[in-house]
Amino acid sequence: MADLDIAGFLLWYFAFLFSITFHEAAHAWAALRGGDPTAYLGGQVTMNPLPHIRREPLGTVIVPLFTFFSRGWMMGWASAPYDPHWARHHPRRAALMAAAGPAANLLVAAAVFLLLKVLLLAGVVDVPWRFGFTRVVEPALRDAPAWAHGACQLASILLNLNLIFVCFNLLPVPPMDGYGIVSGLLRERFAAAFRFLDENPLFALLGLLVAWSVFPRIFLPILVRVLRLLYTGRLL
């Protein structure tokens, strides 16, 4: 059982670290392209997870460890710095920066979805008899080697985790990326009020509570639609 837990943790942590690193690197890259080198100077325009871990060790190491071994799934966070003065002077660029993170996760989810779709049509993988976060597909061969089961689990986690990152981060409440997108597209007099809420820790905490409470109602219907497209009506 310990070996299974360690193997499961490694699969989860690889998927989590890859996804969150890609998310934050996309934020940093978009900011650099928009004229803000803050995250670039911090070494975060990179897919190397170490700079992101050094910036947020609690969200990238401690909390993922705790949630996995206590709950069986992984939760955490990371962040990329930016210049708030640049964001105020270039709200559209700041909105693009905010959108870049969820867009990166959407790209990962779409790539994994297309790969699994091709493998399903080719008969390499099959629909599992019971869906789970780590069981979107399973090897078609019943005596498949352990690495094939591990690959299916990794692909399942990557698909589900990146869908969660997209949906959760696009919620238009502080401190989510969706809030930054909306505030960057508003006229200045309205954007100023949005920035005030975003910079207030109390509203950020309230925003997280709201996001956590409404997220399942938004995410589950989206997940069902994605699975229907993936399975083409064979299961759902």
Q: What is the mean pLDDT of residues 95-119?
A: 97
Residue carrying structure tokens 């990329």: 80
pLDDT of the residue at 190:
60
* Cβ neighbours of 188 (radius 10 Å): 9
Q: What is the mean pLDDT of residues 199-227?
A: 83
Residue 20 half-sphere exposure, CB side, CA atoms within 13 Å?
A: 26
Note if the pTM is more than 0.85. Answer: yes
Could you tell me what percent of the chain has a pLDDT over 90? 69
Least confident of 47-51, 129-133, 163-167, 185-189: 185-189
109-156 per-position pLDDT tens digit: 999 999 999 999 999 999 998 888 999 999 999 899 999 999 999 999
The rounded mean pLDDT for the chain is 89
Q: 205 Cβ partners below 8 Å, 6+ apart? A: none
Cα–Cα distance measured from residue 19 to residue 104, given in angstroms and rounded to the nearest whole number: 8
Does residue 161 have a pLDDT over 50?
A: yes
pLDDT of the residue at 180:
86
Q: Among residues 110, 150, 115, 152, which one has the least CA distance to residue 131?
A: 152
Supply 59's token pair.
């969200």
Q: For CA atoms 43, 44, 49, 50, give the dihedral sign.
A: positive
Confidence of residue 198 (pLDDT cuts 50, 70, 90): low
Confidence of residue 18 (pLDDT cuts 50, 70, 90): very high
Confidence of residue 95 (pLDDT cuts 50, 70, 90): very high
Confidence of residue 236 (pLDDT cuts 50, 70, 90): very low
67-82 per-position pLDDT tens digit: 999 988 999 999 999 9
pLDDT of the residue at 200:
63
Q: What is the mean pLDDT of residues 42-50?
A: 96
Confidence of residue 199 (pLDDT cuts 50, 70, 90): low
pLDDT of the residue at 2:
40
Supply 225's token pair.
């639609």
